[in-house]
Amino acid sequence: MNTELVIKDLHASIEDKEILKGVNLTVKPGTIHAIMGPNGSGKSTLAYTLLGHPGYTVTAGEVWYKGQNILELDPDERAKLGMFLAFQYPVSIPGVTVANFLRAAVNAQRAEEGKDPKSTAIPMAQFRKEIRENMATLSIDEGFARRYLNEGFSGGEKKRIEILQMAMLKPQMAVMDETDSGLDIDALRVVSQGVNTLIGKQPEMGVLVITHYQRLLNYIKPNFVSVMMDGRIVREGGPELALELEEKGYDFIREEVLSNAGK
């Protein structure tokens, strides 16, 4: 089965304003693909569109994964195919513990149409074993399992819990939307170590990392880098492109785009 994520001429709007204006991109399994770009370029819109956020309307294009155009699938069906979105701003859910949230997420992923949910649910002993192992691997104190999801958590703690969710769900294609947002250097390093540990355990996983800044890519090393501007991919390259952006900013690419448009 083809586990490449292939985006073809994707257009998407929010409240009748077109944000994505023809995105073409391929994310290969077992690779880390970074998308960089200035504010307002459409990076987060791409992430939310890929996972089926109802606030975004797809007006043209296709997104293929495992032989299916996932734009025809509901968000939960995309998740069951093995896709995962790590949010820029993870939400808090008062009254729901981290452990209960994760168990519900795992059971939802395991559920099969026409079967009693109890028959496909993860056994409690197995769940406890897996969550303890993953929390140890990611250096998360077990006490977090009993706390309400993200309530009173720091930015770094919220992001680490999302990495824990990834570890429990074992996605084959993870989309990480500005994971470095709101993190100081120490928190960024800890979260990045967690991501790298997870990638090490699942080397076949494809990862799409969306970020403004090259600093995240000092810790999570990409195989490919794409630059997005005005709702399109305008430049592609290897890790050296991220370093060039750090040195020069986005203006030199913006000038290239304007120059090519005038030809």
In contact, 110 and 121? CB cutoff 8 Å: yes
DSSP assignment letter at 91: P
3-class secondary-structure state, position 242? helix
- The b/e string for 114-148 (b: 16+ C-beta within 10 A; e otherwise) is eeeeeeebbeeeebeebbeebbebbebeeebbebb
Give 176-194 pLDDT, tens digit per residue.
998 888 788 888 888 888 8
Whole-number percent of the chain with pLDDT over 70: 98
Alpha carbon distance 165, 105 (integer Å): 8
| Matching residue, tokens 């992001």 | 159
Give 64-116 pLDDT, tens digit per residue.
999 999 999 999 999 999 999 988 788 899 999 999 999 999 999 898 888 88
The structure's pTM equals 0.89
**Strand 224-229 with 232-237, pairing:** antiparallel
Average pLDDT, stretch 214-230?
A: 92
